[in-house]
Structure 1
Amino acid sequence: MGHGTRRVQAGYVVTADASAHVEDITPLPPRPLPHILFRQWWRELVFLHWAADPDEVARLLPPGTSPDFHLGRTYVGLVFFRMDHLALGRGPALPYLGSFGEVNVRLYSRDALGRRGVVFRSLDCDRLLPVLTARAAFGLPYRWARIRARRTDSGISYDSLRRDGSGAGARVRAEVSAEPYEANALEEFLTCRWGLHAQFRGRTYYLPNLHPRWTFTRAELTSYDETAIAAAGLRTPREDPVSVLYAPGVPVRFGPPLRLPRGS
């Protein structure tokens, strides 16, 4: 994808960058939304991240995008959360179908216009209709799964298993507190993302979003187990995550999809 790399002991370091300009990492959206396509809340989020092989990542991204890097490394994320109050445009939230558990595997991308985004390799969801709708309308790789979430005064847990018999899934246990946590530069790179890249009907598009500034509290990983990353086409991480984050949640708005220029 135009990036030269050399292997080092702790991961991969970029030696060439094909992008002339890449937008800054900002805690608030760098651009407004001209229209609101849909709204939702992301709640009780747990983020786990590992360094990833950029060659593996590049092969899994849609045309017109390339891996995004922080200090020469790119990452894979495993994110657990509750989706609530899904609504179309400025209309009311959808009852029942608008709230569900989700577990996703995501990569980090940039395009020829310099926009940073995420690319979802899988999105496991415990409501079938949203799965079918998102696949049909946006070409996103949603999968129907059993997801259980439990929140206590001191901890949070998620368990997911796909219903397709593949055995792919993920589990996490974390202790969380009310003590504020300030994200470091890497964690800002991983969470300050204002859109997603995906391919649908042969074209790559960018779906922009906006939400308030993230707030995090301290989290300590108790245990985890996952087969979702290998099912997404990457090697299973052998080490513990380089970052563990917990966020109470944010309201999110998405704008209409923007097609990437042909040949980009």
Structure 2
Amino acid sequence: MATRRSSGRPRRDAALEALTPLAPRPVRHAVFRQSWRDVVFLHWEADPFEVARLLPPGTAPDLFHGRAYAGLVFFRMEDLAPGPVPPLPYLGVFDEVNVRLYSRDVTGRRGVVFRSLDCDRLLPVLTARAAFGLPYRWARTSRRWYGDRLLYRSRRRGGRGADARVWLDVGPGAAEPGPLGEFLTQRWGLHTRRLGRTWHMPVTHPRWAFRRCGLLDASASVFAAAGLTPPAGDPVSVLYAPGVPVRFGAPALLPRTPPSAGPHG
């Protein structure tokens, strides 16, 4: 991985974390636990320089064959629980839509940077923003199955006009994500900005089991609200998974580094 000295010359001082179907480091003591159900991943190519400007210091765009990607992810949150306590009733169950980018940090770890996370439970929104610096927003979200077709919809509250929708046909057979899908979904941490510093939070879950699916329709004005150019055309990757249980570990500070001028490596 390339970082930059103050002179602007690139240096390579950390091994880039490998893309693996399972997390390279287990989370032994979970800060919180949850389950993701009916997960839909939509991805479009993005301008790497635009992405670089939106990432926290100490991270750079993680590129796939020189290209950056922005994701729109829908899922049903269940069994949300802090630490070892039992899952929270009502507050721990909601639909979520997030806009995310892909990062790598100065230690070589790959991650996700969330530009927005919309859900319809106000208390989790306020808690995640205060405790972890995550950009949660209060929204009206819904999920409904119509036979083998899945519909997610979200619209942000407060008249901000940020909405998202996906209409998906899900088949019974297994699907392979391919190299790009693996790059976009085999992520074992997130990067976030809080208290003026950049943090890395590890994530672990079982390997994904993707199913065949076909996109019927999608819209995403949340991209513009997240500071990104709205996507043009169909997504380059569409994936569906029934779900996984997830564990988040304690966040750790990244070392301070000089700012990067843009995507590299």
Q: Give TM class, smaller chain.
A: over 0.9
Q: Is the 8 A contact 2:23 2:205 kept in 1?
A: yes
2:139 corresponds to = 145
**Residue aligned with 2:182, SS:** helix
Give, in whole Å, the separation in 1 of the partners of 2:51 and 2:256. 22
Give, in whole Å, the separation in 2 of the partners of 1:240 and 1:17. 35
2:236 corresponds to = 242
Give, in whole Å, the separation in 1 of the partners of 2:183 and 2:28. 25
The match for 2:202 among 208, 233, 244 is 208
**1:135 matches 2:113:** no
**1:123 matches 2:117:** yes
1:100 corresponds to = 94
Q: Is the 8 A contact 2:177 2:210 kept in 1?
A: yes
**1:261 matches 2:255:** yes
The match for 2:174 among 172, 175, 180 is 180
Structure 1 stretches (4+) deviating beyond 4 angstroms?
A: 16-20
1:231 corresponds to = 225
What TM-score, normalized by structure 2, do the two folds share?
Answer: 0.92
Query: Over residues 163-210 of structure 1, what are the superposed CA-to-partner deviations in whole Å (9 max), with x where a residue is unaligned?
Result: 021100101101001110011010000000000000001010001010
1:7 corresponds to = none
**Residue aligned with 1:50, SS:** strand
Give, in whole Å, the separation in 1 of the partners of 2:107 and 2:127. 29
**1:160 matches 2:154:** yes
Q: Once the 2 structures are TM-superposed, how far is the Cα of residue 17 of structure 1 from its aligned partner?
A: 7.3
Give, in whole Å, the separation in 2 of the partners of 1:208 and 1:244. 25
Query: Over residues 109-156 of structure 1, what are the superposed CA-to-partner deviations in whole Å (9 max), with x where a residue is unaligned?
Result: 000100000000000011000000000101110000000110133110
Q: Is the 8 A contact 1:214 1:247 kept in 2?
A: yes
**Residue aligned with 1:56, SS:** helix
Relative distance call for 1:75 and 1:3 in structure 2 (3 A) is farther
2:25 corresponds to = 31
Q: Is the 8 A contact 1:175 1:220 kept in 2?
A: yes
Q: Is the 8 A contact 2:111 2:190 kept in 1?
A: yes
**Quick one: which amino acid aligns to residue 148 of structure 2?**
S
Relative distance call for 1:203 and 1:239 in structure 2 (3 A) is same
**Residue aligned with 2:104, SS:** strand
**Residue aligned with 1:137, SS:** helix
Q: Is the 8 A contact 1:173 1:224 kept in 2?
A: yes
1:67 corresponds to = 61
Structure 1 gaps, min length 5: 5-15
Relative distance call for 1:41 and 1:19 in structure 2 (3 A) is farther
Q: Is the 8 A contact 1:149 1:157 kept in 2?
A: yes
1:192 corresponds to = 186
Which protein, 1 or 2, shows the higher relative CO under an 8 Å CA cutoff with sep ≥ 6?
A: 2
Structural RMSD (CA): 1.6
Query: Over residues 27-47 of structure 1, what are the superposed CA-to-partner deviations in whole Å (9 max), with x where a residue is unaligned?
Result: 000112242111000000111
**Quick one: which amino acid aligns to residue 213 of structure 1?**
R
Identity of aligned residues (%): 62
Aligned pair count reads 252
**Quick one: which amino acid aligns to residue 177 of structure 2?**
A
Structure 2 gaps, min length 5: 259-265
Which residues of 2 match residues 72-87 of structure 1 at below 5 A?
Answer: 72-87=66-81
**Quick one: which amino acid aligns to residue 95 of structure 2?**
G
